[in-house]
Amino acid sequence: MAMEWLLIGLILLAIAVNIRSFIVLSQFQKQRKVMREDTESVNASMEEFVANLEQENDELYNRLVEHIAQKESRMADRLHELEQKIGGEPAAPAMEPVPTAKKIKAVKQKEAVKPAEPAVDPALPENEKIEQLHKQGFSTAQIAKVVSAERGEIELIINMFKKKQSYQK
């Protein structure tokens, strides 16, 4: 009889543990859902913050461009006035139209895309030209184009140059 009571007790204990497990599991699921919602709201607020920051940057940039344009215009006017006072008959004012923000951005983008021209002394031997261009930060493809050599040859010379430098240290 004691064995039966022990089995009944163990079964009741197992049922109680199962019920507790379900309760804890449901609490974890609720916490996980809350954490997901919090993460999504943080991401949304960060995206909004970045968008606002970009908008403020654009507005500040445009204001700066306008301010510079106004200053240049005032300087040109002042220069014209001074020329009139000094010379009597001033040269025709060479006033260029004040650049707008869009034009300035377009010019900057064109300048950014345009690669720098390599500055190499033509009297140097080919290996030294390659080393000099490499030191200036040009890629192997750009160096190969300038020196009119194979890319693999350029890479080999650059590797030899690097080894030579490491031995000198």
Residue 123 has φ and ψ, to the nearest 5°, of: -80, -15
What pLDDT, on a 0 to 100 scale, did the predictor assign at position 96? 54
Predicted local confidence at residue 164, as pLDDT: 85
pLDDT, mean of each 10-residue run, the chain (169 residues): 90 95 94 93 92 92 92 93 78 53 59 56 83 89 88 91 83
pLDDT confidence of residue 92: 52
CB contact set of 80 (below 8 Å; sequence gap of 6+)? 90, 93
Assign residue 137 a region (left: φ > 0; alpha: ψ between -120 and 50; beta: otherwise). left
Predicted structure pTM score: 0.35
Residues 6+ apart with CB under 8 A from 120: 129, 132, 133, 146
What pLDDT, on the 0 to 100 scale, is given for residue 114?
46
